[in-house]
Amino acid sequence: MKNKTFEELLKELENLVKELESGEVPLEKAIDKYTEAMKLVKTASDILNTATEKVNKILAENGELKDFDIEENN
């Protein structure tokens, strides 16, 4: 999961939510899918927090905007 992009994580999460919302998933599988979804949310949140920290650091340095690269975990 660590090697996926933010967009890939969101797509997977959307698919899991659709499956769970369908009501056609047996309880045991629904619990597994929910657990997987929570892991995706955590990973996506970590990516966003890292990006936010980088942006805040750039904006804080001398009050000037600078170019920056977001490192993706590939």
Instruction: Give mean pLDDT, residues 40-47.
Output: 94
The pTM of this model reads 0.70
* Nearest CA-CA partner of 42 in 71, 74, 4: 4
Residue 31, pLDDT > 60, answer yes
Both tokens assigned to 11: 């797509």
Both tokens assigned to 51: 């990006």
How much is the pLDDT for 24?
94
3-class SS at 4? Answer: coil
CA angle 10, 3, 26 (to 5 degrees): 50
User: Look-up: residue for tokens 């992009």?
Assistant: 5
Domain ranges across the chain: 6-60
Residue 74, pLDDT > 60, answer no
Residue 67, pLDDT > 80, answer no
The model's confidence at residue 20, banded by pLDDT at 50, 70 and 90, is very high
Instruction: Give mean pLDDT, residues 55-65.
Output: 68
